[in-house]
Amino acid sequence: MRQNSLQQRLGLNTLRFFVLLVLLFLGIILWEVFSKGSGVINSGFLFDYPRKGMTLGGIFPTIMGTIFVTLVTTIFAIPMGIATAIYLSEYANDNGINRLIRASIRNLAGVPSIIYGLFGVAVFVQGMGLGSSVLSSGLTLGLLTLPYIITTTEEALKNVPHSYREGALALGATKWEAIWTNVLPSAVSGIVTGSILGLSRAAGETAPILFTGVAFYLRYLPGSVYDSFMAMPYHLYILSTQHHAIEEVRPLAYGTALVLLSLVFVLNIIAFIIRYRYRNFNKARI
């Protein structure tokens, strides 16, 4: 008995230790970025163009570029991803081909992002002649996000109780009506969460946009989806490794990192709020 309770305590404390370790690393990263980056954040940093070989000024075009390209990704990846997930979850039979499709999609989620970048160059930039542009980058990021959106959406749909579908069908709904009016709304929080997390990952990627549309420095914002753009992750990469005066621009790099982190954070907050509001409405009385 005594030995068992000792084991129990030991086990629990080991788990606690690892949780704290993870939190510690996370805390160090956040503290590092925040303490070193917050000093340069002001309205000029957010709304000015870089000046003097990026040693002065702000990161306005990189913020706009990242938002713009993420928007293209959203428009491309979310409808396609959700449609695919609906098909796989609701319509596809459980046969060999569909299992293969599912396995392929899961595996695509593990493909390194640089591979997507190379694929984007080959297919969008050159193959389809879209050039080095917001569109090419957005589509490439979309491909990168698709497996993630499909998997999480399919998971969310699978979690909708079977009885919601049957209940709707028994009331004279067609299969599509049951999905559209009943299954999808019930899965919305899972779908939104998955999609936003997927997009926030895309917003922070460098490799896929590297060859497909991002530019080192531009004097103008992209005027259409066929223009090149600047983006925060790439800007951060430049400032921290490729710049001629790395030490001098280090605070700017940290500032950029902080803004990028904040953007991702805001996206996650939005996902959280949507989930929370949805759950609150349906909180069951116990």
Partner 1 sequence: MKPKLAVRNLHLHYGTKEVLKGIDLDVPENNIVALIGPSGCGKSTLLRAMNRMHDLNPEAKVKGKILLDDDDIYAPGKDVVAVRRKIGMVFQKPNPFPKSIFDNIAYGLKIAGENNKQKLHAIVERTLRSSYLWEEVKDDLDKSALSLSGGQQQRLCIARAVAVEPEVLLMDEPCSALDPISTARIEELMLELKKQYTIVIVTHNMQQAQRVADLTAFMYFGEVIEFAPTRQLFDAPQMELTANYLSGNFG
User: Of all helices (H) and strands (E), which one includes residue 249?
Assistant: helix 246-281
23: its two tokens: 């939190």
Q: State the sign of the Cα–Cα–Cα–Cα dihedral 54, 60, 66, 69.
A: negative
In this chain, which of 171, 246, 266, 269 binds partner 1, going by CB under 8 A? 171
Give the interface size with partner 1 as a residue count (CB under 8 A). 24
Q: How far is the CB of 153 from partner 1 (least distance, A)?
A: 17
- 283 forms part of the interface with partner 1 (CB under 8 A): yes
Give the span between the Cα atoms of 286 and 278, in whole angstroms. 18
Q: How far is the CB of 186 from partner 1 (least distance, A)?
A: 5
Please, where are the H alpha helices in 38-121? 43-47, 60-86, 96-108, 113-120
Which DSSP state fits 182? I
Query: Would you say 2 or 283 has its CB closer to partner 1?
Result: 283
Q: How far is the CB of 281 from partner 1 (least distance, A)?
A: 5
- 219 forms part of the interface with partner 1 (CB under 8 A): no
Query: Would you say 174 or 242 has its CB closer to partner 1?
Result: 174
| CA nearest to 90, candidates 2, 200, 175, 181 | 175
Give the span between the Cα atoms of 42 and 74, in whole angstroms. 29
**Binding segment (CB under 8 A) for partner 1, from list 29-37, 172-180, 206-214, 224-232:** 172-180
Query: Would you say 34 or 278 has its CB closer to partner 1?
Result: 278
SS3 call for 73? helix
- 193 forms part of the interface with partner 1 (CB under 8 A): no
In this chain, which of 172, 223, 224, 247 binds partner 1, going by CB under 8 A? 172
- 159 forms part of the interface with partner 1 (CB under 8 A): no
- 1 forms part of the interface with partner 1 (CB under 8 A): no
- 186 forms part of the interface with partner 1 (CB under 8 A): yes
Q: Annotate 2-24 with b (16+ C-beta within 10 A) or e (fewer).
A: eeeeeeeeeeeeeeeeeeeeeee
Give the span between the Cα atoms of 149 and 119, in whole angstroms. 19
Which DSSP state fits 284? P
**Binding segment (CB under 8 A) for partner 1, from list 61-69, 73-81, 161-169, 221-229:** 161-169
Query: Would you say 177 or 248 has its CB closer to partner 1?
Result: 177
- 274 forms part of the interface with partner 1 (CB under 8 A): no
Q: Within positions 71 to 110, which residues make up the interface with partner 1, using CB under 8 A?
A: 93
Q: Are 262 and 65 in contact (CB under 8 A)?
A: no
Give the span between the Cα atoms of 41 and 47, in whole angstroms. 10
Query: Would you say 27 or 161 has its CB closer to partner 1?
Result: 161
Query: Would you say 41 or 179 has its CB closer to partner 1?
Result: 179
In this chain, which of 56, 170, 245, 273 binds partner 1, going by CB under 8 A? 170
Q: Residue 240 CA to chain centroid, in angstroms? A: 23
SS3 call for 50? strand
- Per CB under 8 A, residues contacting partner 1 are 93, 161, 163-174, 177, 181-182, 185-186, 281-285
